[in-house]
């Protein structure tokens, strides 16, 4: 009930109050601080040409190319050859996954999320069967990158850090 009355008071004669506020003259800005003009000696130095600097500037040559134009030129030179080799997908999640269902192949040296989870899970559960060499061969990956991913990317391990004080609540397994 109080909100309804407050809204009625707030919206009373709203158009007239708005028009009155808009039609008011805007406040004038505060006057700027008077600044002293620089001495004439400084002004003359600023306006003079510095020949050594101009010579250095003339020696600089910048050549710029558009990366998109370079790609189109490369593809125009070799019309039948793709720049990146592609491989068919090994594993896919069932159903639409973030709108990527039309994905049928990926570049060599890359993985989809489904393939990465399958490879990491296989190595985690069966490290003797899913060796880094086998994963690298299966997915056309670099062996060094595969070993680094298996060593540093561990999505299935949960670590519970004990609290610093004895009085803090702790999550139990039961």
Per-residue pLDDT reduced to its tens digit, 81-105: 556 788 877 666 566 655 555 677 8
In a domain, 126, yes or no: yes
Any domain includes 101: yes
One pLDDT digit (tens) per residue for the chain, 174 residues: 678 887 777 777 888 888 888 888 888 888 888 888 888 888 888 888 889 999 999 999 888 888 777 676 666 555 555 567 888 776 665 666 555 556 778 888 888 888 888 888 889 889 999 999 999 998 889 999 999 998 888 776 677 777 777 777 766 765
Pair 145, 119: CB distance under 8 Å? no
Tell me the residue range of the domain where 102 lies.
91-152
Please report whether residue 51 resides in a domain. Answer: no
Answer yes or no: is 82 within a domain.
no
125 within domain boundaries: yes
Residues 6 or more apart whose Cβ sits within 8 Å of residue 133: 143
Residue 130 forms part of a structural domain: yes
Closest among 87, 90, 158 to 119, alpha carbons compared = 90
Whole-structure pTM value: 0.41
């Amino acid at each position: 009930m109080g909100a309804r009355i407050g809204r009625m008071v707030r919206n009373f004669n709203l158009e007239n109050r708005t028009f009155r506020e808009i039609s008011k003259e805007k406040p004038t800005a505060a006057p700027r601080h008077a600044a002293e003009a620089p001495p004439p000696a400084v002004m003359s130095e600023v306006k003079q040409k510095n020949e050594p600097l101009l010579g250095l500037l003339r020696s600089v040559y910048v050549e710029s190319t558009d990366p998109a134009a370079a790609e189109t030129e490369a593809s125009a030179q070799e019309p039948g050859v793709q720049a990146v080799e592609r491989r068919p997908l090994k594993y896919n999640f069932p159903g639409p996954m973030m709108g990527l269902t039309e994905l049928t192949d990926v570049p060599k040296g890359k993985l989809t999320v489904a393939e990465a989870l399958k490879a990491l899970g296989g190595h985690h559960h069966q490290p003797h069967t899913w060796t880094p060499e086998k994963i690298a061969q299966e997915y056309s990956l670099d062996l060094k990158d595969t070993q680094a991913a298996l060593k540093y990317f561990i999505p299935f391990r949960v670590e519970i850090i004990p609290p610093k004080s004895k009085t803090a609540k702790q999550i139990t397994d039961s």
